[in-house]
Amino acid sequence: AQSVTQPDIHITVSEGASLELRCNYSYGATPYLFWYVQSPGQGLQLLLKYFSGDTLVQGIKGFEAEFKRSQSSFNLRKPSVHWSDAAEYFCAVVNYGGSQGNLIFGKGTKLSVKP
Amino acid sequence: KAGVTQTPRYLIKTRGQQVTLSCSPISGHRSVSWYQQTPGQGLQFLFEYFSETQRNKGNFPGRFSGRQFSNSRSEMNVSTLELGDSALYLCASSLALAGSETQYFGPGTRLLVL
């Protein structure tokens, strides 16, 4: 069965520092991958997605992610974190088991930003 | 273009009652999916509706049901509520079947079962 692993439950970075959030997936073929962000009490906002093509994907709010097939990873990066980036981040993969098509989410990584 | 809207935003019910949640997708989107988010289980898929038909279903008991109307709006119903049904229920819409399209999420309905 497909799965998504976000190894870091909670990360704290200083404002202005760089950020990398890890995501590993399990799927035999090329997956459709997403990163979503959730602020407290809110729904999920799409940051970026990877379907095919260029393995470095640019998203909103200055985020980017790189798809690495050899490592089954889709890590999210930002060169300089702002206080407003504090939120929970979810990596997701489309479930193609049994012609499903729904999203399978990781457990999320909560990001705290120190002033 | 307006985003996905969900009503109500907050709901308090007691065990044994039933509840209906509503979701209006982005204009032009024909697929609506529902997810449950809890601190323990995370985000879990409930079901997907496309063209008024359930196309896909997650691993939830029959107490959870849904439907979709001809204007693509969707409702989700939970009968005989249990304490464990307390969660944030998120609706997502996509242009076509979710497997090949990006899903856009609404703000969610937070359900508290007492």
Contact A105 B42 (CB under 8 A): yes
The whole-angstrom distance between B16's CA and the closest CA on chain A is 26
- The answer to whether the beta carbons of residues A36 and A44 sit under 8 Å apart is yes
What does the pLDDT read at residue A98? 53
For B67-102, the pLDDT digits (tens) are: 999 999 999 999 999 999 999 999 999 998 777 788
Give the nearest chain A residue to B89 (CA atoms).
A43
**Residues A30-47 pLDDT 10s:** 789 999 999 988 899 999
Backbone angles phi, psi at B25, to 5 degrees: -75, 170
**Which of B7, B31, B45, B91 best tests the A interface by mutation, with the highest count of A CBs <10 A?**
B45
B107: contact with A, CB 8 A cutoff = yes
Q: What is the DSSP string of A24-43?
A: EEE-SSPPPEEEEEE-TT--
Residues of A in contact with B56 (CB under 8 A): 100-102
A-B C-beta contacts closer than 8 Å = 61
